[in-house]
Chains A and B, each alone.
Chain A
Amino acid sequence: MNNRIIYFDNNATTGTAPEVLEAMLPFLKDQYGNPSSMYAFAGVSQKAVNKARTQTAALLGARAEEITFTSCGTESDATAIMAALRAQPDKKHVVTSRVEHPAVLTLGQHLEKEGWSVTWLGVDDKGRLSLDELAGALSKDTALVSVMFANNETGNIYPVAEIGALCRDRGIPFHVDAVQAVGKIPIDLSSLPVDYLALSGHKLHAPKGVGALYVRRGAPFRPFLRGGHQERGRRAGTEAVPNIVALGAACELAAARIGEENTRVRALRDTLQQRLTTDIPDCIVNGDPDNRLPNTLNISFKYVEGEAILLHLDRYGICAGSGSACTSGSLEPSHVLRAMGVPFTYAHGSLRLSLSRYNTREEVDYATEKLSQIIDRLREISPFKE
């Protein structure tokens, strides 16, 4: 990782792990065979893709044949959702939440225009879903429930096992957008009642341009991309062999390091939170502190605006995210914070710090010190400070 950069934006993307880069390099250089071709040279690519499938399945407690490689998390989500809906053309109801990533949220809004009815589950002030509300929304017409495993902004972890059980009782397929969860918390699909699960390579130290979709054996499926027979006809298109190899390596690495995410990284995040909330008055932590990804801190500072904080942090090489309107290109603050009812005074001043196993205590100390100064400075300019 670059020495001049303090990278606290790992929910946006992650740096490619050195081991991952090493694993993929041969397939960017000499091993360029097309896995579909009929000679030994291409067989090397075929074997590498198979190995990656086994590595990815292992991280999730899935079977290799339940893994389909895609180009990104968004493609995995769209493939799963459309597959489930096309397989059940007589059912026209979908249940999802107001805090989904745009990959699901925007697709849901599109489905509404196309004639499906969508139940948008609300959340409480900590961003938590109500299982009763969810159970009440399910009907004979429900074709799919789609809920994220963990939220990209707050880090909130949702009760996938409980939701899955409700769906299974009623025979309703259940899709989980696990893009933020995979590699950060243990996931065992051999015991979780989940039918589809989406993940993205670049959120777990593989490069951008690769994702995967888990489809439980027997779950209804219709392909999204049609064409060649790749991925057993589930996703046509020549395999992105180097990226797939990288994803496999990243999954194997994540399985080995997942303990560290939940001990050392969690401790760093907790230190960051504790120091910021102590040093800076008028700030609140957004989300559910008892049920959060170990790497994520979403914190709001009253009277200041998120983009202004980010630009000041950028001067010191500190990379972070914000749910403020000005950082999104849209003009409204984060749909997640709004769904939680975070007051406007705080929603515009939200800052997301998301760590990884490559962060250090020194970085946390430095960022804390700089943030205190920045917030002080911006509050001096603000007409709202008391």
Chain B
Amino acid sequence: MWEYTEKMRDYFLNPRNVGEMKDADAVGEAGSLACGDALKLYLKVKDGVIADASFLTFGCASAIASGSALTEIVKGKTLDEAMTVSNSDIARYLDGLPKEKMHCSVMGREALEAAVRAYRGEPALPAGSEGRIVCKCFGVTEEQVVRAVRENNLTTAEDVTNFTKAGGGCGECLREIEAVIADVVSGKSGDAAEKGTAGAPAGLADWRKRKSAGAAPLSNVQRMQRVMTVLDEIIRPRLRQDGGDIELVDIDGRTVSVALRGTCTSCPSSRLTIEGFVQQTLQEQVEAGIVVREAVS
């Protein structure tokens, strides 16, 4: 049984602003029946301000509640303000959603953007309709994944599935999603969306290379080189953002010994940093069997 907040249950059982708006100035849609949820948002716009909003939802309880919350949030906002509403604003409005249901709030944000773009005469659907598809089961693009990772600070493929559904079907794209996350975390994805598909991000390029090369086991030298590259290019920049640093002490087979430096040394969650972020990144980027230990000085 999902744990829903009282407010979410209320917005599901007594949804506000339900129904088709015959004289709507803008309509935005997101989701699809095949995917199991869909949202249609209607806006009435007066002098650049959203005067009224209503919705129709096919979907589970949190999809209905998210649609209803969205209409309440945007009423009275200017179109520019509305465009800054994020999926987490919708989730927060409902006092939170179970993480497996976050994709319902993302659908709300997508419908809102679609409606505003339609009103402004801009091309429909900035996300989803174009760009490279990462998840074939749910038709999720790389840009949608990148955006969800950025806006919600996602770190695992499971998070991405919860927010976008990507990877929730056959699961074949999970490794690719991990590569996309690594790119965003390392800052390499830049603005992939704006640049189009021309400059495929480095982590992703690596991933493709590894994938096409098959799962040939790494030699010791190859492994060391890759560990050092990933530490330098992905892990260290991230730690430095928080005033920390990391030093490579030794690589013995698949065991990597590191020492944390800077603010990391006094950080109470340093163990989490090593086991979670450092080890996981190395496992994703270099080899699954890698174990990271903190070197004792």
Q: How far is the CA of A225 from the CA of B61 in the complex (A)?
A: 42
Which A residue sits closest to B169, measured CB to CB?
A332
Whether the pair A333, B61 counts as a contact (CB closer than 8 A) is: no
Q: Shortest beta-carbon distance, A221 to chain B, in Å?
A: 34
Q: How far is the CA of A344 from the CA of B169 in the complex (A)?
A: 15
Whether the pair B40, A326 counts as a contact (CB closer than 8 A) is: no
Whether the pair A312, B13 counts as a contact (CB closer than 8 A) is: yes
Q: Is A305 an interface residue (CB 8 A)?
A: yes
Q: Is B157 an interface residue (CB 8 A)?
A: no
Q: Shortest beta-carbon distance, B37 to chain A, in Å?
A: 7
Given A305-B58, A326-B60, A331-B161, answer yes or no on A380-B18 (Cβ-Cβ < 8 Å). yes
Which B residue sits closest to A326, measured CB to CB?
B60
**Bitwise interface map of A from 180 to 208 toward B, beta carbon under 8 Å scored 1, else 0:** 00000000000000000000000000000
User: What interface size band does chain B fall in?
Assistant: 20 to 34
How many pairs, one residue from A and one from B, have CB atoms within 8 Å of each other in the complex? 74
Scan residues 317-331 of chain A and give those whose CB is less than 8 A from a CB of chain B: 324-327, 329-331
Q: Which residues of A contact B63 (CB under 8 A)?
A: 305
Q: Is A235 an interface residue (CB 8 A)?
A: no
Q: Shortest beta-carbon distance, A69 to chain B, in Å?
A: 30
Q: How far is the CA of A311 from the CA of B36 in the complex (A)?
A: 17
Q: How far is the CA of A265 from the CA of B161 in the complex (A)?
A: 41
Q: How far is the CA of A54 from the CA of B41 in the complex (A)?
A: 63
Q: Which residues of B contact A384 (CB under 8 A)?
A: 33, 38, 58
Q: Shortest beta-carbon distance, A375 to chain B, in Å?
A: 13
- CB < 8 Å neighbour of A308 from B18, B59, B138: B59
Q: How far is the CA of A209 from the CA of B240 in the complex (A)?
A: 51
**Bitwise interface map of B from 1 to 29 toward A, beta carbon under 8 Å scored 1, else 0:** 00000000100110100110000000001
Q: Is B57 an interface residue (CB 8 A)?
A: yes
Q: Is B137 an interface residue (CB 8 A)?
A: yes
- CB < 8 Å neighbour of B165 from A308, A331, A345, A382: A331
Q: Is B64 an interface residue (CB 8 A)?
A: yes
Q: Is A123 an interface residue (CB 8 A)?
A: no
- CB < 8 Å neighbour of A331 from B57, B61, B64, B169: B169
B19, B34, B60: residue with the most chain A Cβ atoms closer than 10 Å: B60
Q: How far is the CA of A382 from the CA of B39 in the complex (A)?
A: 9
Whether the pair A382, B60 counts as a contact (CB closer than 8 A) is: no
Which B residue sits closest to A379, measured CB to CB?
B58
Scan residues 342-386 of chain A and give those whose CB is less than 8 A from a CB of chain B: 344-345, 348, 380-384
Q: Which residues of A contact B37 (CB under 8 A)?
A: 305, 326
Scan residues 198-257 of chain A and give those whose CB is less than 8 A from a CB of chain B: none
Q: Which residues of B contact A330 (CB under 8 A)?
A: 168
Q: Which residues of A contact B62 (CB under 8 A)?
A: 326
Whether the pair A383, B18 counts as a contact (CB closer than 8 A) is: no
Q: Is B56 an interface residue (CB 8 A)?
A: yes
**Bitwise interface map of A from 289 to 316 toward B, beta carbon under 8 Å scored 1, else 0:** 0000000000000011111100110010
Q: Which residues of B contact A306 (CB under 8 A)?
A: 60
Q: Is B100 an interface residue (CB 8 A)?
A: yes
Whether the pair A331, B138 counts as a contact (CB closer than 8 A) is: yes
Q: How far is the CA of A344 from the CA of B64 in the complex (A)?
A: 19
Q: How far is the CA of A332 from the CA of B23 in the complex (A)?
A: 36
Q: How far is the CA of A332 from the CA of B34 in the complex (A)?
A: 9
Q: Which residues of A contact B137 (CB under 8 A)?
A: 332
- CB < 8 Å neighbour of A383 from B9, B13, B57, B100: B57
Q: Shortest beta-carbon distance, A286 to chain B, in Å?
A: 17
Q: Shortest beta-carbon distance, A339 to chain B, in Å?
A: 15
Whether the pair B60, A324 counts as a contact (CB closer than 8 A) is: yes
Given A344-B34, A381-B18, answer yes or no on A307-B61 (Cβ-Cβ < 8 Å). yes
- CB < 8 Å neighbour of B56 from A308, A311, A324, A383: A383
Q: Shortest beta-carbon distance, B165 to chain A, in Å?
A: 5
- CB < 8 Å neighbour of B57 from A325, A333, A381: A381
Which A residue sits closest to B161, measured CB to CB?
A331
Whether the pair B168, A332 counts as a contact (CB closer than 8 A) is: yes
Whether the pair A324, B36 counts as a contact (CB closer than 8 A) is: yes
Whether the pair B36, A325 counts as a contact (CB closer than 8 A) is: yes
- CB < 8 Å neighbour of B60 from A308, A315, A332: A308
Which A residue sits closest to B34, measured CB to CB?
A344
Q: How far is the CA of A61 from the CA of B165 in the complex (A)?
A: 48
Whether the pair B168, A331 counts as a contact (CB closer than 8 A) is: yes
Whether the pair A381, B60 counts as a contact (CB closer than 8 A) is: no
- CB < 8 Å neighbour of A305 from B13, B36, B101: B36
Q: Which residues of A contact B29 (CB under 8 A)?
A: 383
Scan residues 36-51 of chain B and give those whose CB is less than 8 A from a CB of chain A: 36-40
Q: Which residues of A contact B34 (CB under 8 A)?
A: 344
Whether the pair A308, B12 counts as a contact (CB closer than 8 A) is: yes
Given A311-B12, A332-B137, answer yes or no on A304-B169 (Cβ-Cβ < 8 Å). no
Given A303-B58, A326-B59, A331-B36, answer yes or no on A381-B168 (Cβ-Cβ < 8 Å). no
Which B residue sits closest to A325, measured CB to CB?
B36
Q: Which residues of A contact B38 (CB under 8 A)?
A: 383-384
Q: Which residues of B contact A311 (CB under 8 A)?
A: 9, 12-13, 61
A303, A325, A382, A383: residue with the most chain B Cβ atoms closer than 10 Å: A383
Q: Which residues of B contact A324 (CB under 8 A)?
A: 36, 60
Q: Which residues of A contact B168 (CB under 8 A)?
A: 330-332
Whether the pair A382, B61 counts as a contact (CB closer than 8 A) is: no
Write 19 A-B pairs (CB below 8 A) sorted by A numbering: A303-B58, A304-B58, A308-B12, A308-B61, A308-B64, A324-B60, A325-B36, A326-B60, A326-B61, A326-B101, A329-B100, A331-B169, A332-B168, A348-B36, A380-B18, A381-B15, A381-B64, A382-B56, A383-B57
Can you list the 3 inter-chain pairs with the closest CB atoms, starting with the nearest?
A331-B168, A326-B60, A383-B56
Task: Show the binding face of A for B, using Cβ within 8 Å.
Answer: 303-308, 311-312, 315, 324-327, 329-333, 344-345, 348, 380-384
Known pairs A304-B58, A348-B36 / 13 extra A-B pairs, C-beta < 8 Å: A305-B63, A308-B12, A308-B59, A308-B64, A311-B12, A311-B61, A326-B61, A326-B101, A331-B168, A331-B169, A344-B34, A382-B57, A383-B40
